[in-house]
Structure 1
């Protein structure tokens, strides 16, 4: 099993979520985060004063998938989160050793 963490633009979350649901990927954890990468922030001015927002709000989507679904799910996220502009986000993939469903005690792929 694999864990996918996608940090994407807030406004791209709904298209990503709908595409994942359409593909049968129902289980996900979502949180609002702030961060920065190469984008390094947004420079704005307000009433003549300039300021920099250096931590940009993003949406973090976390999924646990079976290994055979990994490439398909990554491609869905890429297709629906990409704008082509700096700040689109990142996808991180890592191994998951064990998954246990608390309610039933199921383990492994059955618990996903």
Structure 2
């Protein structure tokens, strides 16, 4: 597990910082065109999970002084190829991005 600012990230994938300025950090995580399953078990809006097929990479955009990050789902390596994004409050959570054979599981674990 790694800690970047107040984010606790547990991932099977390599990552790299692609931008860091004024307390903002962008992390690039290559998931190699896998399906991405986001677990939503305790969500009032969705039941179970949301799946995005054929995701090239994720960009996690966070601020070291906050507990909010924006997650961008990328179709290609081009930074303008985002096809979806959403915000995630990771306060008191570990953010997990795990390789599960042909798909990627994105979950959170209460600390």
Q: TM-score range by the shorter chain?
A: 0.3 to 0.5
Larger radius of gyration: 1
Greater relative contact order (Cα 8 A, min sep 6): structure 1 or 2? 1
Higher helix share: 1
